[in-house]
Protein backbone atom coordinates (compact mmCIF):
# COMPACT_ATOMS: atom_id res chain seq x y z
CA UNK A 1 0.00 0.00 0.00
CA UNK A 2 2.78 2.38 0.94
CA UNK A 3 4.66 1.39 -2.18
CA UNK A 4 1.55 1.93 -4.25
CA UNK A 5 1.12 5.39 -2.77
CA UNK A 6 4.73 6.24 -3.43
CA UNK A 7 4.44 5.15 -7.03
CA UNK A 8 1.18 7.06 -7.47
CA UNK A 9 2.82 10.05 -5.89
CA UNK A 10 5.84 9.85 -8.18
CA UNK A 11 3.56 9.75 -11.19
CA UNK A 12 1.67 12.79 -9.94
CA UNK A 13 4.88 14.68 -9.26
CA UNK A 14 6.27 13.75 -12.64
CA UNK A 15 3.07 15.03 -14.22
CA UNK A 16 3.29 18.28 -12.28
CA UNK A 17 6.93 18.76 -13.10
CA UNK A 18 6.47 17.99 -16.77
CA UNK A 19 3.87 20.71 -16.81
CA UNK A 20 0.92 18.59 -17.81
CA UNK A 21 -2.12 19.79 -15.96
CA UNK A 22 -3.77 17.62 -13.41
CA UNK A 23 -7.42 18.23 -12.92
CA UNK A 24 -8.42 19.65 -9.56
CA UNK A 25 -10.07 16.34 -8.65
CA UNK A 26 -6.86 14.45 -9.40
CA UNK A 27 -4.72 16.68 -7.24
CA UNK A 28 -7.29 16.51 -4.44
CA UNK A 29 -7.16 12.71 -4.57
CA UNK A 30 -3.41 12.50 -4.38
CA UNK A 31 -3.48 15.21 -1.71
CA UNK A 32 -5.87 13.05 0.28
CA UNK A 33 -3.52 10.06 0.02
CA UNK A 34 -0.61 12.22 1.19
CA UNK A 35 -2.72 13.64 4.01
CA UNK A 36 -3.70 10.17 5.23
CA UNK A 37 -0.08 9.08 5.06
CA UNK A 38 1.58 12.05 6.77
CA UNK A 39 -0.98 14.18 8.58
CA UNK A 40 -3.85 12.00 9.78
CA UNK A 41 -1.98 10.55 12.80
CA UNK A 42 -2.20 13.97 14.41
CA UNK A 43 -4.89 15.92 12.57
CA UNK A 44 -7.25 12.95 12.16
CA UNK A 45 -8.30 11.25 8.92
CA UNK A 46 -11.16 13.77 8.63
CA UNK A 47 -8.69 16.64 9.34
CA UNK A 48 -10.70 17.65 12.40
CA UNK A 49 -7.80 17.31 14.80
CA UNK A 50 -8.49 14.02 16.50
CA UNK A 51 -5.68 11.82 15.27
CA UNK A 52 -4.28 8.86 17.17
CA UNK A 53 -1.24 10.81 18.42
CA UNK A 54 -3.26 13.64 19.92
CA UNK A 55 -2.89 12.46 23.50
CA UNK A 56 0.89 12.41 23.13
CA UNK A 57 1.17 16.03 22.03
CA UNK A 58 1.46 19.01 24.33
CA UNK A 59 -0.53 21.15 21.91
CA UNK A 60 -3.64 19.58 20.41
CA UNK A 61 -3.43 19.51 16.60
CA UNK A 62 -5.86 22.07 15.23
CA UNK A 63 -9.00 21.26 13.27
CA UNK A 64 -7.87 21.92 9.70
CA UNK A 65 -11.40 22.11 8.28
CA UNK A 66 -12.04 25.50 9.86
CA UNK A 67 -9.04 27.36 8.43
CA UNK A 68 -11.17 29.25 5.92
CA UNK A 69 -13.93 30.05 8.39
CA UNK A 70 -11.39 31.46 10.83
CA UNK A 71 -9.89 33.51 8.03
CA UNK A 72 -13.01 35.39 6.99
CA UNK A 73 -14.19 32.71 4.56
CA UNK A 74 -11.03 32.56 2.52
CA UNK A 75 -8.59 29.63 2.51
CA UNK A 76 -5.32 31.02 3.98
CA UNK A 77 -3.14 29.41 1.31
CA UNK A 78 -0.02 31.50 1.94
CA UNK A 79 -0.20 30.84 5.68
CA UNK A 80 -0.66 27.09 5.21
CA UNK A 81 2.22 26.98 2.77
CA UNK A 82 4.46 28.78 5.26
CA UNK A 83 3.34 26.44 8.04
CA UNK A 84 4.26 23.40 5.96
CA UNK A 85 7.60 24.97 5.16
CA UNK A 86 8.14 25.60 8.88
CA UNK A 87 8.47 29.36 8.38
CA UNK A 88 5.60 30.55 10.50
CA UNK A 89 4.46 28.05 13.00
CA UNK A 90 1.30 29.14 14.71
CA UNK A 91 1.34 29.65 18.43
CA UNK A 92 4.00 31.83 20.00
CA UNK A 93 6.85 30.42 17.98
CA UNK A 94 5.38 27.04 17.33
CA UNK A 95 5.78 24.10 19.62
CA UNK A 96 8.08 22.25 17.31
CA UNK A 97 5.62 19.36 17.41
CA UNK A 98 4.42 19.89 13.90
CA UNK A 99 7.02 18.44 11.54
CA UNK A 100 8.48 20.64 8.84
CA UNK A 101 7.10 18.91 5.81
CA UNK A 102 8.73 20.83 3.01
CA UNK A 103 12.15 19.89 4.33
CA UNK A 104 11.24 16.34 5.23
CA UNK A 105 9.81 15.63 1.80
CA UNK A 106 12.85 17.14 0.11
CA UNK A 107 15.16 14.97 2.17
CA UNK A 108 12.93 11.94 1.68
CA UNK A 109 14.06 11.65 -1.88
CA UNK A 110 11.21 13.68 -3.35
CA UNK A 111 13.61 16.46 -4.33
CA UNK A 112 12.52 20.07 -4.10
CA UNK A 113 10.18 19.88 -7.10
CA UNK A 114 8.60 16.72 -5.68
CA UNK A 115 8.26 18.26 -2.22
CA UNK A 116 6.67 21.31 -3.76
CA UNK A 117 4.23 19.18 -5.72
CA UNK A 118 3.29 17.34 -2.54
CA UNK A 119 2.66 20.62 -0.71
CA UNK A 120 0.42 21.73 -3.58
CA UNK A 121 -1.65 18.53 -3.64
CA UNK A 122 -2.05 18.44 0.16
CA UNK A 123 -3.18 22.06 0.04
CA UNK A 124 -5.71 21.23 -2.70
CA UNK A 125 -7.09 18.52 -0.44
CA UNK A 126 -7.27 20.82 2.59
CA UNK A 127 -9.03 23.45 0.53
CA UNK A 128 -11.60 20.83 -0.48
CA UNK A 129 -12.40 19.82 3.12
CA UNK A 130 -13.06 23.33 4.42
CA UNK A 131 -16.36 23.77 6.22
CA UNK A 132 -18.73 26.35 4.90
> Which residues contribute to the site for ligand HEC (CB under 6 A)?
38-39, 41-43, 53, 57, 59, 61-62, 64, 79-80, 83-84, 89-91, 94-95, 97-99, 101, 122
CA distance 104 to 123: 16
Q: How far is the CB of 37 from ligand HEC (least distance, A)?
A: 8
Q: How far is the CB of 11 from ligand HEC (least distance, A)?
A: 19
Cβ nearer to ligand HEC, comparing 19 with 51: 51
Q: How far is the CB of 112 from ligand HEC (least distance, A)?
A: 16
Q: How far is the CB of 41 from ligand HEC (least distance, A)?
A: 5
Q: How many helices (H) and strands (E) does the chain have?
A: 7, 0
Instruction: Determine which helix (DSSP H) or strand (DSSP E) holds 1, and give its type and residue range.
Output: none
Residues in the chain: 132
Cβ nearer to ligand HEC, comparing 62 with 111: 62
Cβ nearer to ligand HEC, comparing 3 with 78: 78
Provide CB contacts within 8 A for 11, sequence distance 6+.
none
- Alpha-carbon dihedral sign for residues 130, 97, 61, 74: negative
Amino acid sequence: MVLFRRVAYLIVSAALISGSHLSLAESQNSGKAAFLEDCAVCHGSDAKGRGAFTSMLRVPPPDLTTLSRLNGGEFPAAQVRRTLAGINMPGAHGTGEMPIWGRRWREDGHGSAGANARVITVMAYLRAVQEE
